[in-house]
Structure 1
Amino acid sequence: MKLIKKAIIASIITIILMISSNTLALPSNISNVEIKDNKDISMINNNQIDKESEYDILDFDPLVNLQVTVNIREIRALDDIDLFSEPDFYVVVYINGIKQVSPIWHNKRYIKDDWSTQPVDIPEDKEDVKIKIQLWDKNTFLDKKCDINSNFNTSYLDKKDIDIVYNIKTGHWRGDDYNYPDILSDLSGYGRANGCDDNSIYQNKRDCELWFDITQNDYDNDGIPYWVEKYVFKTDPEVDNTGWDNDSDGVPIEWEYKWGHVYYYNWWQHKYESMWIYDPFVWEDHANLDIDEDGLQNTEEYLTSQWGSDPHRKDIFLEIDQMEISEDKRGAFVPNRSFDLLQDAFARRNIVIRVDDGCMGGGQKDIPFDPQTEGHEFDEIYFKYFLNNDSNYWRRGVFHYSIIVYYPEAASAAGFAFSSEVNGVRLIDCFALGTMIHENIPLYQNPMWYNILRRKTFSIQKQKEIIYAGVMMHETGHVLGIFRGNTPGCDNRNEILKYFNYKSCMNYFYTYFHVDYSDGSHGVNDFDDWDRIDLTRFQMEYN
């Protein structure tokens, strides 16, 4: 009888495992069909590639001695790492077990300086390279590891570093960071790690954002590996193909190479397989493809790729032009750290907002001082400074736009979102702020102890940074579709107690104290701003 029971139990377990295995296999298959059929993109025959290339496995690139390099591009603390100072970051990278350590960036919350490992020699006949990246905070007694892991693809309860398998055939990687569109996407993006991805946004777990790239040397220096050129694209691995657009679809071969390759797990054969979703020699509708639904089509993602855009992760680009300070010292510039605070809030939610304050070819500080800017003058500033007097300038519909003036007459000197009209097309893509109000009233209308308590800092400069970041995020929220008509607590002046739980910069009670939208988790009369925002709205035409 016991044997019969055991046999029945074993049979049930076997059936469950078979069902689970089949179920787990479905997402990859379904996703592949969705990508091919619904996104109007081509697929390259990988089985044929494997047959043709099987004879070259003894040397994946006979033209060079292969070396792999890891480049750290940017680091951002999303939590308070140290109690009394900014963090002292350093990075540890292992390439096939070989350890390399970066310099220490002392007392810096934001690192925007590149650091690269020394190139590491790789066996010519080994397809995969194992890479580990760790982010540390240097301390007097005990260094602390910072969190850059999503904890999605690991059995560890609280893994903080990232493990990656880099493939020298394709020049792409998988593991704790990967490239994939649609339902199986890595929400933080390819080459970007985010410690908040384990839903620790409201916990201090030393969460950070780390941008990186992994490269290998190749003979023609076009960034496309020998194996891909010879067996996938059928190009000459000794000729630099940078800039080629043979299919005339608006994006060059190097962009389609970087974003057109994905790995997926074959549950039936228990191995990772490659899939090429873009073909640089077959026309694809990149001018209308917007897989991540951020309002940037692939051709626009290419134009902004120099600033880190990712066609499979949401991006926002914002240009800010500012008015000069008068000779009698009226006016002010937005503090640089306000832009970082704005970026922090979006970064935690895997929306990357890049602010051009002059660092990306726009963002000027030379609008002539005017003690009072009237409505029609904003249209003139928009056309002259944002569009460079060119009604077809490419940034319109790609960048959001902000004008910082002294006193915007149309909004009682504070700020407002507004629309632009060019060639008969009206877009709600911009906002304006006045510095006269923001340099004074938010700082001095309440007792200083009240401001210190709510902004959690004694520093007047840091309080100003919070004020400007909060109001910029507020006006950006209007451009993205949050307003009183769909969110009753938005722009609320008179019902503070009723909407106290709506902890969002869209609520006037929090605008100058809280640089974040609400996620609707705080109780009665709270609203989910993050779910409501529409990143495509700034491209919609309005009559």
Structure 2
Amino acid sequence: MSFDFSIRKNAWIFAFIFVAIILIFSIAYLQLSPQPSEKGEEKVIDDRISPMENQALFVQILRIRNRSLMERMLTHGNSWKEIPSFYYIIKVDDEIGSSKGYVGETGVYTTWDTMGYESTMTFDVEEEREYSDVRISIIEIQKTGLFGQKTKEVKKENISLKYDYRTGRWKGDDFFMDKDGMGHYLGKNYEIWFNIYQADYDHDNIPYWVEKNVLGTDPSIDDSKLDPDKDGIPTDWEWRYGYDPFTYNAHENLDPDIDGIENIEEYKMRKYFSNPFQPDIYIETDGMEKKGIIDLPHIFYKESQQMIIERFAQHGINVYIDDGWKDGPINGGGELLPHQKNLDDVMGKQLLAFYTHNFADERKGIFRYVVVGSREDGGGFITPVSYNNFDAIYVSNDFNSVITRLAFTPREIRVMLAKAILHELGHSIGLMPVTFPGIDIMSRKVVDRY
């Protein structure tokens, strides 16, 4: 009996010692651990708007495109030759700026498309202002009177926005992640690309408030040159399109708009209006030298381009055509290639020479390559000149195509060229006769038309 009592007594002693040790270590841990501040763990918000820079707002008009040309081209008559004249007005709060007298050769734009002629206006803003009302208006100058000797000004588009100086975003008729992309407005009469940003000390277009309170970055350091998550795309682009710049994203594989242009390529094309959430089609086009004096121009007419751009725009797809962009790469669009009598897509694939030497290498995999030339049957084709990439298109514009397409007037020639190129572009996005029987006209009789 005394032996059992001794065992139980020792067990109780050991248990007491063990508990005491646990208590001592627990108290020591609590004493040595960092203590929360008296104010708690809440993050302190720096709610200043622009402490490092005098506050100002910049409104850039990047491109304006009149949308009426396609309808005019599909209507008999010469209205397609009447090039529109227009200018824009920007109002920020109570301050108004007009481009009239300061753009184009005559003080206004006289063109269907201002691609490559960007402009900007700067507006002073009172310090620490939180919001600004922004209005962009397109004013068209229309001829009136019996002989068109008089003119009147008609407001054709009006974009109303509210800019937030904390976030650098805006709401209203255009907003972040809307159906046609932030900074892109598809109006009834005009399509406008624009950008709005505020004075920013480090010039990365990320507002001070966002850097301090959202990203935790340094508002004195340009984040357009930093890539903290090492995914190949810097902080400013990822922030602009809603990605976390501190979380790795496989941008070389991401294609949220399913347009075949991965995010890493969208970033490369940022100068040319690319948007990772809006389908884009990029085209580089070259023409071909005439065979002689009596020959049609082998070029992708501006009117034909606008028809294709408009047709895709009606379906939410943005088309950009380089026919000689001023800042394009070596071997960019707009070249006149040596005349070839009859390129074909079966025997020899002679288009490979132009694809290799006249189509910029850095664009392959992003752009389609369209050559307008000559062909005995007056037709055209799309062909994979490299591996199985259907990105090279050849379409004729010559007297043979005039007969094949029954297009005899300047308007009809341009319309039928647009239809021929649109047909081949359809193949480039997967509309193949194997899966869509009947989309190709197989015979080449005079009565056949695209």
TM-score higher than 0.5 here?
A: yes
Q: Does the Cα contact within 8 Å between 2:402 and 2:413 map onto a contact in 1? A: no
Q: Which residue of 1 aligns with 2:274?
A: 309
Q: Paired residue for 2:68, among 66, 79, 85? A: 79
Q: Deviations over 1:428-463 (max 9, x none)?
A: 2222112334663267x47x6xxxxxxxxxxx4443
Question: Which amino acid is 2:132 matched to?
Answer: V
Cα distance in 2, alignment partners of residues 72 and 285 from structure 1: 32
Q: Which residue of 2 aligns with 1:468?
A: 417
Q: CA deviation at 1:414?
A: 1.3
Q: CA deviation at 1:367?
A: 2.8
Q: CA deviation at 1:369?
A: 2.2
Q: Deviations over 1:292-321 (max 9, x none)?
A: 111111111101111111111110011223
Q: CA deviation at 1:354?
A: 0.9
Q: Paired residue for 1:341, among 307, 330, 333? A: 307
Q: Which residue of 2 aligns with 1:428?
A: 390
Cα distance in 2, alignment partners of residues 344 and 320 from structure 1: 18
Using a 3 Å threshold, how does the CA distance of structure 1 residues 88 and 364 change in structure 2: closer, same or farther?
closer
Cα distance in 2, alignment partners of residues 164 and 381 from structure 1: 46
Q: Tell whether 2:266 aligns with 1:296.
A: no
Q: Does the Cα contact within 8 Å between 1:491 and 1:508 map onto a contact in 2? A: no
Q: Tell whether 2:195 aligns with 1:213.
A: yes
Q: Tell whether 2:123 aligns with 1:120.
A: yes
Q: Deviations over 1:326-354 (max 9, x none)?
A: 46665622223322222122122221111
Q: Paired residue for 2:56, among 67, 71, 75? A: 67
Q: Tell whether 2:383 aligns with 1:383.
A: no
Q: CA deviation at 1:258?
A: 1.7
Cα distance in 2, alignment partners of residues 129 and 106 from structure 1: 27
Q: CA deviation at 1:87?
A: 2.6
Map of 1:366-381 to 2, 5 A cutoff?
A: 366-374=336-344, 375-376=347-348, 377-381=350-354
Cα distance in 1, alignment partners of residues 127 and 270 from structure 2: 31
Q: CA deviation at 1:223?
A: 1.9
Q: Deviations over 1:478-530 (max 9, x none)?
A: 22233445555533589xxxxxxxxxxxx964x3xxxxxxxxxxxxxxxxxxx
Question: Which amino acid is 1:239 matched to?
Answer: I
Cα distance in 1, alignment partners of residues 44 and 356 from structure 2: 54
Cα distance in 2, alignment partners of residues 470 and 105 from structure 1: 32
Question: Which amino acid is 1:145 matched to?
Answer: K
Cα distance in 2, alignment partners of residues 357 and 100 from structure 1: 32
Q: Tell whether 2:185 aligns with 1:236.
A: no
Q: CA deviation at 1:212?
A: 0.9
Indicate the SS of the match to 1:110: coil
Using a 3 Å threshold, how does the CA distance of structure 1 residues 143 and 358 change in structure 2: closer, same or farther?
closer
Q: CA deviation at 1:475?
A: 1.1
List alignment gaps of at least 5 residues for structure 2.
1-41, 73-77, 101-106, 143-149
- The TM-score, its normalising length taken from structure 2, stands at 0.75
Q: Paired residue for 1:144, among 151, 154, 172? A: 154
Q: Which residue of 1 aligns with 2:136?
A: 133
Question: Which amino acid is 1:211 matched to?
Answer: W
Using a 3 Å threshold, how does the CA distance of structure 1 residues 106 and 71 change in structure 2: closer, same or farther?
closer
Using a 3 Å threshold, how does the CA distance of structure 1 residues 66 and 373 change in structure 2: closer, same or farther?
same
Question: Which amino acid is 2:52 matched to?
Answer: L
Cα distance in 1, alignment partners of residues 383 and 287 from structure 2: 17
Using a 3 Å threshold, how does the CA distance of structure 1 residues 253 and 308 change in structure 2: closer, same or farther?
same
Q: Which residue of 1 aligns with 2:371?
A: 403
Question: Which amino acid is 1:468 matched to?
Answer: L
Q: Paired residue for 1:165, among 159, 162, 166? A: 162
Cα distance in 1, alignment partners of residues 226 and 402 from structure 2: 54
Using a 3 Å threshold, how does the CA distance of structure 1 residues 66 and 244 change in structure 2: closer, same or farther?
same
Q: Which residue of 1 aligns with 2:98?
A: 101
Q: Tell whether 2:59 aligns with 1:89.
A: no
Q: Which residue of 2 aligns with 1:246?
A: 228
Cα distance in 2, alignment partners of residues 339 and 295 from structure 1: 21
| Count of residues in correspondence between the two structures | 377
Cα distance in 1, alignment partners of residues 287 and 152 from structure 2: 44
Cα distance in 2, alignment partners of residues 218 and 303 from structure 1: 23
Q: Paired residue for 1:110, among 110, 113, 128? A: 113
Cα distance in 2, alignment partners of residues 164 and 508 from structure 1: 50
Cα distance in 2, alignment partners of residues 492 and 439 from structure 1: 14
Using a 3 Å threshold, how does the CA distance of structure 1 residues 247 and 433 change in structure 2: closer, same or farther?
same
Q: Which residue of 1 aligns with 2:7?
A: none
Q: Deviations over 1:224-279 (max 9, x none)?
A: 2222222333332222232222222121222112212xxxxxxxxxxxxxxxxx12
Q: Deviations over 1:374-422 (max 9, x none)?
A: 5421223323322x5xxxx442221112233323x7xx34101112334
**Identity, % of aligned pairs?**
29
Map of 1:150-189 to 2, 5 A cutoff?
A: 161-180=158-177, 186-189=178-181
Question: Which amino acid is 1:431 matched to?
Answer: I
Question: Which amino acid is 1:345 matched to?
Answer: R
Map of 1:275-294 to 2, 5 A cutoff?
A: 278-294=243-259
Question: Which amino acid is 1:301 matched to?
Answer: E
Cα distance in 1, alignment partners of residues 109 and 288 from structure 2: 34
Map of 1:389-538 to 2, 5 A cutoff?
A: 393-407=361-375, 412-422=377-387, 426-437=388-399, 440-441=402-403, 445=406, 460-487=409-436, 490-492=439-441, 509=449, 511=450
Out of 359-368 and 161-170, give the one that drifted further. Answer: 359-368
Cα distance in 1, alignment partners of residues 273 and 260 from structure 2: 16
Cα distance in 2, alignment partners of residues 381 and 227 from structure 1: 51
Indicate the SS of the match to 2:197: strand
Question: Which amino acid is 2:319 matched to?
Answer: I
Cα distance in 2, alignment partners of residues 461 and 163 from structure 1: 40
Q: Deviations over 1:75-104 (max 9, x none)?
A: 111126999633321222221232222216
Cα distance in 2, alignment partners of residues 341 and 438 from structure 1: 22
